[in-house]
Amino acid sequence: MSGIPTPLSMSEADRFNGGNFFKFNSQLVAGAKARGVLGYIKGTIPKPSGPVPYVATTASPWYSHSPSVEEWEMRDGYTQSMIITNVQNPIGFGITDSMTAAEAYQAITS
């Protein structure tokens, strides 16, 4: 896979509204798996502690479980946007743009 995957966009009826978690979650998890970012939602791909003494000259694959700090920030932001854009009222569910994808997911699952 090369490049950034197409963003996940659910229909208005499928976006999380507080009462359709099972359907929303099934689509979110499947979409995240297909895009190689489920670990960001689950929190199993932690942000690397910086600074890295050696900077790779080539980018890691999108689905890498050991990205650089910069790659992690971009991929986590991408994953966070998958959640925010598919929740009908993200602020109402306590989601903020300063959260990681895992924190945003936790906000709607707790």
Q: How confident is the model at residue 15 (pLDDT cuts 50, 70, 90)?
A: very high
User: Could you give phi then psi for residue 16, rounded to 5 degrees?
Assistant: -60, 130
| d(C-alpha 82, C-alpha 37), whole Å | 10
Q: What is the pLDDT of residues 81-91, one digit of tens each?
A: 999 999 999 99
Res 35 pLDDT > 90:
yes
Q: What is the pLDDT of residue 2?
A: 56
Residue pair 16/24 in contact (Cβ under 8 Å)? The answer is yes
Q: Considering the chain, what is the average pLDDT of its residues?
A: 91
The verdict on pTM exceeding 0.85 is yes
- What's the average model confidence in pLDDT over 15-37? 97
Q: What is the pLDDT of residue 4?
A: 85
- What's the average model confidence in pLDDT over 91-104? 96
